[in-house]
Amino acid sequence: MQKAWGGLMPGEDLVNGTILFAPMANATKTGVALNDANPAALAAVQAMKQEYKPEDFPTARGSDVLEFLVDMHLNYKKRQAETIKKSGRSTTLSPMVFDTGIGYEIQSQYLHQNADAVAHDAYVNGYGPSLDEQMKLADGAFNDLEKNRLILEAERVASNEGPWVNWLLKPPGISQGVPWLEHNKIEGKPYLVYETQIQQPAKYRADFPLRLAALASIQDWDWVTWHYFGDGSLDSAANSTNPFTKKVDVTTGSHPQGYHFTYDEVQTSLMRAAAYIFVQNAWDKAPNPTTFVYGKKSLYDPKSMNYGHSYGQKGMNMLQTVYEYGARIRIDTSRQDDEVLGPMVLFEDRNKHNPYHPTDQITFDWKAGFIKAVSPKAVAFAGHLPQGSNLKWGNISMSDISVHNPEGIYDPIDPEKPYFAVSIYTLDDKPLESSNLAGVSMASTSFNSGYQRGNVNNSQKAIEGTLPVLVARIGATFHIPEFANGHYTMYDFNNSIIEEGVLLGHGKLTIEHDKPVYYILLSKS
């Protein structure tokens, strides 16, 4: 050990067991790192410096600290799982997850790899700082990897349409820096997204469910949990004819209230579409995902103690690779070095590569600002289009597209270039061509009446606003030949029928922008 470590620090003694618990990511206080009341330890502390930095220790010692911690943690988890598995029938049958920690940390991912299943999360915001302001955080970074991490974080979180973040105008990703969700799929293990959401206020949020459904499809996920539903006021919903006519939850202070989606007509309309797309495997997974293999050097690399430094610079290639090729990750302790099996989109090409085609069905064109998908079971689009434009998915089309902003809405959608998300999806797990039941979801944006975002620069407080919720409505004409002469039923947010009729001709369906359409049910007799 002394040979590997290049000797011991003054005051350290293997016989007396006075060894500092160091290095750590940052400077280590001696009294904390040798927290022991025995006389030898107290004497050792007096002989040592009161603080040690990571660079005071050789790499081998830092690696040993990490290996000690990883082995202790993993073995504890295994003993815990073995005990719990024996406690009942459900626990015997249920998969065990070992961690819900930081998604871009190799030691955390190693825990997942040794468990029955993998669980990760990610949140994003709908507004952000200016890019210039955020880029300043990268000035003076302590090494190139940290600088690249901070640059990526700045690019991901910065606003790009006024104060808002339009995620469709960025390289694809559900991350506000290094990824937590995208890259962590382990072949052969169930993958659970245990929580995710876009925080309100978010003018451009209608696309979020479709982007999540696309990522879940590409990466072949098994479970997605949205966080979170309800604030308790739905307990008596059965006694109300309009249970969802409540103001939208938005963050106005330090508490992130804007994660509630219960009363958000815009997001839940597309969540409905995303759910059917997901559970029916409507969109294909990436056919030949790239595998990132990491060896012992990376698992026990002391530099990985710093946030975002796991996997080294090569790990920065994982995020965008997912959206072009799909990806798998494997930590192999039988080898020392890393290896990449398959093609990549390099970190340095992140702002050049476009469009992304992970499968024949899904396209991310971030320079044009849209996602589009077409498959036998579901078609979708989200983004900006010039007013009056047409959309086509095979023989299904959408034309005469317009947006109507209600009077007084906080930040109107540009009527010359409407932003919206739309999906047509089967409800009976059959291709639309032979389906007897399908749905249409379409939405743009909404704000509470009187909502104000506030301004921290002049101490102007945010105002949550009141009812009614002001919803920007989309008008359009659909042609859905698969449901020609079929029946349509339009529902509002409270699940009340607002219009019924027949899709005449080649399956023509017209939606007027003055109708509060939440979703449309298509059926064949």
What digits encode the pLDDT tens for the residues 144-158? 999 999 999 999 999
pLDDT value for 236:
53
The beta strands (E) that lie in 267-309 are given as 290-294
φ, ψ of residue 137 in degrees (nearest 5): -65, -20
265-279 helix and 208-218 helix, angle to the nearest 10 degrees: 20
Provide the phi-psi class of 90: left if phi over 0, else alpha when psi is between -120 and 50, else beta.
alpha
Rounded to whole angstroms, the Cα distance separating 316 from 393 reads 34
pLDDT attached to residue 18: 85
**Structure tokens that stand for 80 in this block:** 């815990």
Residues of 407-417 as b/e, b for ≥16 C-beta within 10 angstroms? eebbbbbeeee
Q: Which of 174-183, 229-238, 400-409, 491-500 has the lowest mean pLDDT?
A: 229-238
Assess contact for 64 and 33: CB atoms under 8 A.
Answer: no
DSSP-derived secondary structure for 18-35: B------SS-EEHHHHT-
pLDDT score at 454: 86
Q: Which of 469, 425, 439 is nearest to 451 (CA)?
A: 469
Average pLDDT of span 321-338? 99
Which residue carries 């946030």 as its tokens?
A: 307
Token pair for 103: 């998604």
Q: For 138, which DSSP code?
A: G
pLDDT of residue 235: 53
CA neighbours within 13 Å on the CB side: how many for 143?
Answer: 8
Integer Cα distance of 278 and 284 in angstroms: 10
pLDDT score at 279: 98
Angle between helix axes 106-113 and 59-85 (nearest 10 degrees) is 30
Determine phi and psi for 429, rounding to 5 degrees. 65, 20
Q: How many CB atoms lie within 10 A of CB 255?
A: 8
pLDDT at 5: 93
Angle CA 250–174–342, to nearest 5: 175
- Do residues 175 and 319 touch, judged by C-beta distance below 8 A? yes
Say if residue 458's pLDDT is above 70: no
Q: What's residue 233's pLDDT?
A: 58
User: In which band, very low, low, confident or very high, does the pLDDT at 386 lie, cut at 50, 70 and 90?
Assistant: confident
| pLDDT at residue number 455 | 79
Residue 255 and residue 10: Cα distance in Å, rounded?
Answer: 48
Asked whether 479 and 453 are in contact (CB, 8 A), the reply is no
36-57 pLDDT, tens digit each: 777 887 787 787 888 899 999 9
Which of 20-29, 162-171, 181-190 is predicted with the least confidence, judged by mean pLDDT?
Answer: 20-29
Specify the pLDDT at position 136: 97
- Cis peptide, bond prior to residue 201, ω within 30 of zero: yes
Helix/strand/coil for 374: strand
Give residue 473's identity as a one-letter amino acid code.
R
**Mean pLDDT for the chain overall:** 94
Whole-angstrom distance, CA of residue 140 vs CA of residue 257: 34
Contact between 483 and 460 under an 8 Å Cβ cutoff? The reply is: no
Q: Read off the pLDDT band of 344 (50, 70, 90).
A: very high
Flag whether pLDDT at 275 surpasses 60. Answer: yes
CB atoms within 10 A of CB 429: 13
Edge-to-edge strands of the sheet including 191-199?
118-125, 191-199, 223-226
Mean pLDDT of 419-435: 98
pLDDT of residue 166: 99
Q: Pseudo-torsion of CA 297, 300, 301, 302, nearest 10°?
A: -160
Output the pTM of the full model: 0.96
With bands split at pLDDT 50, 70 and 90, how would you rate the model's confidence at 237? Answer: low
Tens of pLDDT, residue by residue over 103-131, are 999 999 999 999 999 999 999 999 999 99
DSSP codes of every residue in 344-363: ---GGGTTT---B-SSSSEE
What's the one-letter identity of residue 2? Answer: Q
Looking at residue 61, its pLDDT comes to 96
Q: Where in 200-289 does DSSP place strands (E)? A: 223-226
pLDDT digits (tens, 9 = 90+) for 331-340: 999 999 999 9
**Which pLDDT band, with edges at 50, 70 and 90, does 26 fall under?**
very high
Give the pLDDT of residue 388: 81
Task: Name the token pair of 148.
Answer: 């690249």
Q: Is the pLDDT of residue 401 over 90?
A: yes
pLDDT at 234 over 60: no
> What per-residue confidence (pLDDT) applies to 499?
98
Q: In 3-state terms, the chain is what percent helix, strand and coil (to 5)? A: 30, 25, 45
Predicted local confidence at residue 232, as pLDDT: 57
Q: Please give the pLDDT value at position 15.
A: 87
What confidence tier does 13 reach under pLDDT thresholds 50, 70, 90? confident
Percent of the chain with pLDDT over 70: 98
> Which pLDDT value is given to residue 208?
99
Q: What is the pLDDT of residues 360-369, one digit of tens each?
A: 999 999 999 9
Q: Where are the domains of the chain?
A: 2-59, 362-523
- What is d(CA 368, CA 298) in angstroms, rounded to the nearest whole number? 38
Percent of the chain at pLDDT above 90?
84
Condensed to tens digits (0 to 9), the pLDDT of residues 277-307 reads 999 999 999 999 999 999 999 999 999 999 9
Q: Yes or no: say if 401 and 418 are a contact pair by the CB < 8 Å rule.
A: yes
CA distances in angstroms from 193 to 185, 200, 223, listed in the order given? 11, 20, 6
Q: What is the mean pLDDT of residues 221-248?
A: 78
